[in-house]
């Protein structure tokens, strides 16, 4: 058996507040099956589903599903490099969607700062298993065991594992909060970040969501400034 690592991009950044304490999470596709990844390997859904079930029982439910910043050389967790704790791992189609809390460790703070500065990061899984050839595809065999569902890396290999930003508050997200308070939601777009095709979909969903509320005015900065001036 050999160490097998796979990387995915992108993931969402989530900020959640509980009892006045804010926590940062990443969420997205952590594991993919039935598709050939950048390493030329494919995982069978049945094999991964079995391992995810074990991982949930033995690690996530017991609060010891840890991940590192960067890609270690072996399957064991290096506690001095731990950056996050995985809190959810659920199936969605042929993928597995995960959620991880960034910890207040040195590596966790580095990851949080990188994401906050708009650096595009991904997640990478680690496991042990053998590889068999099926035609031109290298298929991970049934003896595969999942060691870590997600490390945070800069260069993922699975097709759909990069992270984007969604910020949630204590009771509502930014849009809902602005509507509830009768205020302003200022949407700022940076082409080098939001211009990626994977993020245009998120922007479209956000606009459609805002349009679902009555009495919402879409305006430019100049129009908002003129409106405020007229209220004086």
What's the distance, CA 7 to chain centroid?
12
Alpha-carbon distance 86 to 65, whole Å? Answer: 5
Q: Is 198 a catalytic residue?
A: no
Residue 212 annotated in active site: no
Q: CA–CA separation, 66 vs 151, rounded Å?
A: 8
Of the residues 71, 138, 194, 196, which is catalytic? 71
Chain centroid to CA 47: how far? 23
CA atoms of 25 and 223, how far apart (whole Å): 35
Least Cα distance to 150 among 39, 23, 29, 12 occurs for 29
Which pairing describes strands 122-129 and 95-102: parallel, antiparallel, or unpaired? Answer: unpaired
Is 223 exposed, middle or buried (CB count within 10 Å of its CB: 0-12, 13-18, 19+)? exposed
Rounded CA Rg of the chain: 20
Residue 123: enclosing H or E segment and its boundaries?
A: strand 122-129
Q: Of residues 83, 84, 124, 147, which has the active-site annotation?
A: 124
Q: Which residues does the annotation mark as catalytic? A: 71, 124
């Amino acid at each position: 058996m050999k160490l097998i690592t796979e990387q995915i991009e992108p993931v969402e950044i989530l900020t959640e507040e509980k009892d006045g304490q804010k926590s940062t999470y990443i969420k997205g596709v952590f594991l993919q099956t039935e598709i050939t990844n950048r390493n030329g390997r494919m995982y069978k859904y049945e094999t991964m589903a079995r391992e995810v079930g074990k991982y949930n029982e033995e690690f996530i439910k017991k609060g010891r599903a840890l991940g590192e910043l960067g890609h270690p050389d072996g399957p064991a967790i290096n506690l001095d490099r731990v950056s996050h704790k995985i809190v959810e791992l659920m199936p969605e189609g042929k993928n597995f969607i995960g959620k991880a809390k960034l910890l207040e460790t040195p590596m966790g703070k580095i990851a949080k700062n990188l994401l906050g500065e708009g650096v595009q990061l991904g997640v990478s899984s680690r496991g042990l298993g053998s590889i068999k050839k099926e035609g031109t595809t290298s298929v991970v065999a049934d003896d595969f065991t999942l060691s870590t569902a997600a490390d945070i890396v800069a260069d993922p290999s699975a097709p759909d594992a990069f992270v984007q930003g969604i910020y949630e508050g204590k009771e509502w997200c930014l849009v809902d909060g602005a509507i509830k308070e009768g205020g302003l939601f200022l949407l700022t777009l940076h082409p080098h970040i939001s211009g990626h095709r994977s993020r245009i979909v998120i922007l479209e969903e956000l606009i459609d969501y805002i349009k679902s509320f009555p009495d919402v005015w879409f305006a430019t900065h100049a129009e908002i400034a003129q409106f405020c001036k007229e209220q004086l």
